[in-house]
Amino acid sequence: MGMARGGNKDAEAAHAPQPPAGRRRRSRWHWLWKLPLALVLLSVAQVLVLRFVDPPFTSFMAIRQFEALGAGDTGFRIAYDWRDLEAIAPSLPLSVVAAEDQDFARHRGFDIRAIERALEHNARGGRIRGGSTISQQLAKNLFLWGGRSWVRKGAEAWYTVLIETLWPKRRILEVYVNVAEFGDGIYGAQAAARSYWGKDAGALGANESARLAAVLPSPRRYSAHRPGPYVQRRARWIERNVRNLGGEAWLEALE
């Protein structure tokens, strides 16, 4: 009798109505719409946390370390030592703004005029000029990778919007001068000051700061420590632009 009841149950299950094939496929892939949402929430969480927590490393640092390991350079070490903005000589953040993004205090992450000027310049040929703001460069350095793919540029734009929305300008500048690469494997103001001049970032002079800013965004091509003619000319131009910004008063007014 037990076997008969079991057989009846199996038969009933076999003849039970099955969901249509289309519904089965939809249920199998229903989680796909959740993936973009999860990525959005993850990116928001990343940016929000780093608004208050100093980053222990960046994606660019991790990539550079893996490149060294892949090349068999097991002795390579990233130089990185965080310093709050107040512990860095004002001349360095001012030099970075003067060199990279003079409208930093006014724009919301994207400088349309700078992009248009860069496109016009590049169309004429010669040295390629970028139109990225400090916020865009920070988004790339913190979370992404190098290259010029549309995927990477799209992700950069998204992170830039988040950074500009969730962080004040002073925090953006503070993080940038701490994670920007100023030499091969040398990241941030403190590591650069110690590596090149044996001093703390708070003791950097105006010319030293201008030379550090002058090697951006090609710190492996140019040297702030032993500057060639190009870096020397650019450093002088940066020092003039720092004065045009208004010097330390500009930095003190930044919110």
- pLDDT score for 26: 58
Pairing of β 181-183 and β 79-80: unpaired
**Gap between the Cα atoms of 62 and 45, Å rounded:** 20
pTM of the model: 0.83
Q: Helices then strands (H, E): number in the chain? A: 13, 3
For residues 110 and 158, the answer to whether their CB atoms sit within 8 Å is no
- pLDDT score for 94: 97
pLDDT at 179 over 50: yes
In the numeric block, which tokens belong to residue 159? 């992170």
Q: How far is CA 140 from CA 194, 197, 241, in A?
A: 25, 28, 25
Strand partners of residue 101: none
For residues 204 and 92, the answer to whether their CB atoms sit within 8 Å is yes
- pLDDT score for 149: 84
Over the stretch 45-80, which tens digit does the pLDDT of each residue have?
A: 999 999 999 999 999 999 999 999 999 999 999 999
**Superfamily for domain range 59-70+85-253:** Biosynthetic peptidoglycan transglycosylase-like (1.10.3810.10)
Over the stretch 73-115, which tens digit does the pLDDT of each residue have?
A: 999 999 999 999 999 999 999 999 999 999 999 988 887 776 6
DSSP 184: T
**Gap between the Cα atoms of 240 and 242, Å rounded:** 5
Please state the rounded mean pLDDT for residues 138-159. 92
Please state the rounded mean pLDDT for residues 13-34. 59
What are the b/e assignments for 56-93, b being 16+ CB within 10 Å?
Answer: eebbbbeebbeebeeeeeeeeebbbebbebeebbbbbb
**Gap between the Cα atoms of 48 and 154, Å rounded:** 19
- pLDDT score for 112: 75
DSSP 247: T
- With cut-offs at 50, 70 and 90, classify the pLDDT of residue 119: low
Lowest mean pLDDT among 6-15, 141-150, 173-182: 6-15
Say which amino acid occupies 106.
R
Count CA within 13 A, CB hemisphere, residue 4.
Answer: 1
In the numeric block, which tokens belong to residue 126? 């010669």
- pLDDT score for 113: 75
pLDDT at 15 over 60: no
Residue 77's φ and ψ, nearest 5 degrees, are: -135, 135
- pLDDT score for 2: 47
**Gap between the Cα atoms of 163 and 170, Å rounded:** 12
Q: How far is CA 200 from CA 87, 194, 215, in A?
A: 9, 6, 19
Dump strand ranges (E) for the chain: 79-80, 181-183, 186-187
Query: Shortest CA distance to 177 belongs to which of 81, 99, 92, 62?
Result: 92
- With cut-offs at 50, 70 and 90, classify the pLDDT of residue 217: confident
